[in-house]
Amino acid sequence: MKGFFAVLIILTFSVLSLSAQSKDEKDVAAAVEKLNKAMVDPEKSTLQSIVSEGLSYGHSGGIVQNKEVFIDDLINGAFNFSSISPTNQTISITGTIAIVRNILVAKATDSGVPTDLRIGNAMVWRKESGAWKLLVRQAFMIQ
């Protein structure tokens, strides 16, 4: 009988921890989606709320931006996204850190010239005061 209760307790905690991981994964996916929407229709307050103060944002061309420059570039820069569609997205969570990988497929204009993008992304999200915030993003060219 003691063995039965021990197994029941272990199963209960296992189910609870699985549901917590599932909620975190959903929350991270929602944060990624919120970021993508904010990159298409940049609004300073939304971007500030989803990006960590210590942001390191690496572009596939080698440019690295901090939070202030990243937000300013989205709002005032010559490169404008019209759509962003992540594919093959994976999310791995350990504690308050989430690693997100995806292929970013996007349509944009660069100084008014239409361009299509297909790049890889590796992102680190950190849970800060209960909210997932982008801490690191590195884009890279893919074949």
User: Mean of the per-residue pLDDT values for the chain?
Assistant: 90
Q: 87-102, pLDDT tens digit by residue?
A: 999 999 999 999 999 9
Tokens representing residue 106 in the block: 């996007």
Tokens 């490169």 found at: 79
8-state DSSP, 95: T
- State pLDDT tens for residues 11-50: 444 444 444 458 999 999 999 999 999 999 999 999 999 9
Q: What is the largest CA-CA distance in the chain?
A: 73
pLDDT band at 2 (very low <50, low <70, confident <90, very high): low
Percentage of residues in the chain with pLDDT exceeding 70?
85
User: And the tokens for 33?
Assistant: 């989606």
Residue 142: enclosing H or E segment and its boundaries? none
pLDDT the model gives residue 104 = 97
Chain-centroid distance of CA 11 in Å reads 32
* pTM recorded for the entire structure: 0.83
**CB neighbour list of residue 104: distance below 8 Å, 6 or more residues apart:** 84, 85, 86, 117, 118, 119, 120, 121, 139
Q: Which pLDDT does position 14 carry in this prediction? A: 46
* Whole-number pLDDT of residue 80: 97
Domains in the chain, please, with CATH?
A: 2-141 (3.10.450.50)
Closest listed residue to residue 95, CA positions, set 122, 123, 121, 124:
124
Average pLDDT over residues 59-88: 97
- pLDDT given at position 3: 55
